[in-house]
Amino acid sequence: MASCVYVVQRGLHRTLLYSPTARHSIYLITPISRTRFIATESTEHPKDEPELDDNSSCSNFEKEFQKYHIPTSLLQKTILAFGSTAMAFYNQYRHDMVAVSGETTGYPVIPLIKRRMMADPVGRQILSEKPRINTRTIDMDYLRSLPEGLFGRDYADYMDKHKISADTRMPVKFIDNIEDAYVIQRYREVHDFCHSFLGMPTNFKGEVVVKWFEWIQTGLPMCGFAAALAPIKLPLSKRIDLTRDYIVWTIKTALNAKFYMNIYFEKHFEQPLDEFRQELGIGTPPEMT
């Protein structure tokens, strides 16, 4: 279980930093106030917090934003960006680090993503309704009951095969504008749909391929860091194979495909996967070995 550190500044500001070795409280003296680092042992949502009302996705997200938002200064965001990106590069399975890096490095790009969504009728609908993707909003048992070959069934099979739950996506914490925060939340929650329509597993190579697709489509720096730097860990021969067999296909696909942030995936569950890929402008994915 990942360790994390909450920074509490006289009860007014909270900054979330992480350390895999945090064991004791540390005090820092600043000209303004004393800041205390409190080590905890879980990044899961506190279990004693009340459940959100599910009557409206939009109001639900507003409540979640108010509950989890952590105001931070530009300096604090910069520290978080460097620290989380370095840790995510060191260990790509630190999903908490990937999440913080995406939030703190994405500020220049998020307005561009939002602008592209506002320019599209489906994108505007998504921003207006703010749909959520979790087991309270999606009936996974129904998706499992769909005939094989449909997008919803493929998504459910992918989630079951890799033992993934849609409830594991962390809430956005370090983005101060609620509309911008939803853009990142939506990006985070449709990540598994990308795996499904790209036909990529959750192993190292599959994640690299998906990050290449997300980077080219959204321009998010965190995706670029992961796509460009993660393969460095592989031997040269395997990097060449990964580039030739998968990354070249992914780059061509991402450049020609529809902007996936404008896709209301939840409305395509009963559509044949091949037909759905064709609408997105995505060809048959290469089989990953």
**What tens digit of pLDDT does each residue of 245-261 get?**
999 999 999 999 999 99
- In this prediction, residue 57 has a pLDDT band, given cuts at 50, 70 and 90, of low
> Residues 69, 181: contact at Cβ < 8 Å?
yes
Q: For residue 24, what pLDDT is reported? A: 36
Average pLDDT over residues 161-177: 92
Answer yes or no: is pLDDT of 59 > 90.
no
Query: Residue 200 and residue 90: Cα distance in Å, rounded?
Result: 22
Answer yes or no: is pLDDT of 28 > 50.
no
Strands 34-40 and 13-17 turn out to be unpaired
Round the average pLDDT of the chain to a whole number and report it: 82
> Residues 28, 149: contact at Cβ < 8 Å?
no
Contact partners, residue 172, CB within 8 Å, separation at least 6: 65, 68, 69, 103, 181, 182, 184, 185, 188
pLDDT per residue over 204-240, tens digit each?
Answer: 899 999 999 999 999 999 899 889 888 888 999 999 9
Check the CA dihedral 216-220-225-226 and report its sign: negative
Answer yes or no: is pLDDT of 3 > 50.
no
Q: Write down the residue that tokens 């000209």 correspond to.
A: 31
Of 181, 182, 248, 260, nearest to 219 by C-alpha is 260
Token digits of residue 204: 């190292």
- In this prediction, residue 56 has a pLDDT band, given cuts at 50, 70 and 90, of low
